[in-house]
Amino acid sequence: MGLAEYRRQMTEDRGQIRNVRAIHESSEYATDMEKVNVNLGERGYTIYIGDNILFKLGELLIQFELSKKIAVISNPTVWKFYGIKIIKSLKSAGFSPVKIIIPDGEKYKNLRTVEKIYTEMLKTGIDRKGCVVALGGGVVGDIAGFVAATYMRGVKFVQVPTTLLAQMDASIGGKTGVDHKLGKNLVGAFYQPMFVLVDISTLDTLPEREFRAGLAEVIKYGVIRDSSLFKFLEENREQILNRDRDALNYIISRSCEIKARIVEQDEREETGLRSILNFGHTIGHAIEATTGYRKYLHGEAVAMGMMAEAKISDVLTDCKNRFRIAELINGYFSFKKVRNISNDISHFIGYDKKISDDEIKIFLIRNIGQAEIDSIEIKRLKKIINAEEQL
Ligand code: NAD
Ligand code: MG
């Protein structure tokens, strides 16, 4: 679907099932927001997606029974751009925001930061009816969510994600937590937010490399579940890279919906269904680990991982999806040379957490948009990898 066609359809759709006018017509600032519901019974919630909607935060919070004091957790990079808007919105809805700033970076995603936040919340008197707002990327969201899950045995929580990755991946699904020196995301809790507020305009300030890295997860959603999204990414590259708001609205809304539907079926990653979201990640993680988590951003490693995993899938299914997938990825990423990862991988595969006994989970892509999980003997996978000169 081209962007013009999409715009037309979006206008027609307004008021219908997905694209509803979420705010009262009478509101002074009537704003269009897409709504994607995450249907998890009493833990269910809405993801609001729109352009320039940060100011809606306070208004959206009024419906919940909350104390006046609200902790807003962010980092200096994000605060500089959006802090004032958030404070204004909360104040005008009658709340008293408490600003808590943590340093920027994955290396601060640990229990020390969590403890510092607890201390500030206790000192400023945030009580059990208080609320935590996460304003930032996935790092802030994961930390703030864990704080909300554990502070006084749990307080209300809202996500205001500001990176592409956080807007269509990290803020949805309730995984919260921090890193441990022995590994990433090893301490945490499943804790769903009350709602997620995705303001697409915040992506204007996101560094180019972070933006592109986020697109890897969008490509992933296309490959595993949605051939139209995949096609949209193929046909609207320029608009997407120029951060055209309508194009972003479409890819983010679709991605949120796909993630929501998967999370609904397997909220706590128990049935294995949720692991379909790991396409590209087995090899992606191997690349990240063998390069010390420094050389590539997560999305970049996942992009390379998807190319390699698509190749393995093609070998096993006798399909030819890898070419279209690689072409799309190469349109958004400019890897100078595809890393020869076969050694890293055969070494690393033995440590992957998706392994049970001597089998490993792999993805079979029957068609673009139709992927399933299967398992394969490690011995056989190693043979396939070794048989390929460059995965
Ligand atoms: P990040 O949070 O580190 O953000 C990347 C950089 O962009 C940071 O420097 C940040 O300060 C900056 N930034 C954020 N928003 C900005 C904006 N609008 N303008 C300018 N700069 C901005 O990285 P990320 O990619 O958003 O998140 C990665 C984290 O998310 C990892 O810790 C990962 O484990 C976690 N994650 C969690 C889940 C989940 O389900 N909970 C899923 C995927 C990833
Ligand atoms: Mg990921």
pLDDT digits (tens, 9 = 90+) for 149-181: 999 999 999 999 999 999 999 999 999 999 999
Q: 187 by DSSP, 3-state: which?
A: strand
The number of the ligand 1 atom at minimal distance from the alpha carbon of 75 is 11
pLDDT grade, residue 388 (50/70/90)?
low
Distance 129 CA to ligand 2 centre (A): 32
35, 259, 322, 339: which one is catalytic? 259
Question: Which of 47, 163, 167, 281 is the best mutation target for the ligand 1 pocket, counting ligand atoms within 8 Å of the beta carbon and taking the most?
Answer: 163
Residue 205's CB is within 10 A of a number of other CB atoms, namely 12
For residues 18 and 11, the answer to whether their CB atoms sit within 8 Å is no
Report the CATH fold assignment for 208-391. Answer: Dehydroquinate synthase-like, alpha domain (1.20.1090)
pLDDT grade, residue 16 (50/70/90)?
very low
pLDDT grade, residue 3 (50/70/90)?
confident
Residue 23 has pLDDT above 50, yes or no: no
Ligand 1, residues at Cβ distance < 6 Å: 75, 77-78, 81, 104, 106, 109, 136-140, 142, 162-163, 165-166, 169-170, 173, 175, 185, 202, 205-206, 210
Predicted confidence at residue 386, as pLDDT, reads 75
Distance 137 CA to ligand 1 centre (A): 3
pLDDT in tens, 253-310: 999 999 999 999 999 999 989 999 999 998 898 888 888 888 999 999 999 999 999 9
Q: Which residues contact 369 (CB under 8 A, 6 or more apart)?
A: 222, 223, 224, 225, 226, 227, 228, 229, 230
**Does residue 24 have an active-site annotation?**
no
Given the DSSP bridges, would you call strands 156-161 and 175-180 parallel, antiparallel or unpaired? unpaired
Residue 194's CB is within 10 A of a number of other CB atoms, namely 19
Residue 381 has pLDDT above 50, yes or no: yes
User: Strand ranges (DSSP E) for 113-194?
Assistant: 131-136, 156-161, 175-180, 183-190
Question: Which of 210, 262, 269 is the best mutation target for the ligand 1 pocket, counting ligand atoms within 8 Å of the beta carbon and taking the most?
Answer: 210
Domain residue ranges of the chain, discontinuous segments joined by + = 33-206, 208-391
- Measuring CA to CA, which residue among 160, 167, 251, 163 is closest to residue 205? 163
Choose the CATH number for 33-206 among 3.40.50.1970, 1.10.20.10, 2.40.160.20, 3.40.50.300: 3.40.50.1970
Q: 72 by DSSP, 3-state: which?
A: strand
Q: Out of 23-27, 53-57, 119-123, 126-130, which region has the weakest mean confidence (pLDDT)? A: 23-27
Question: Which of 165, 167, 186, 211 is the best mutation target for the ligand 1 pocket, counting ligand atoms within 8 Å of the beta carbon and taking the most?
Answer: 165
Percent helix / strand / coil, the chain, rounded to 5: 55, 20, 30
Predicted confidence at residue 335, as pLDDT, reads 80
Predicted confidence at residue 65, as pLDDT, reads 93
pLDDT grade, residue 336 (50/70/90)?
low
Task: For residues 371 and 355, give the distance between their C-alpha atoms in angstroms, rounded to a whole number.
Answer: 19
Predicted confidence at residue 328, as pLDDT, reads 98
pLDDT in tens, 39-52: 999 999 999 999 99
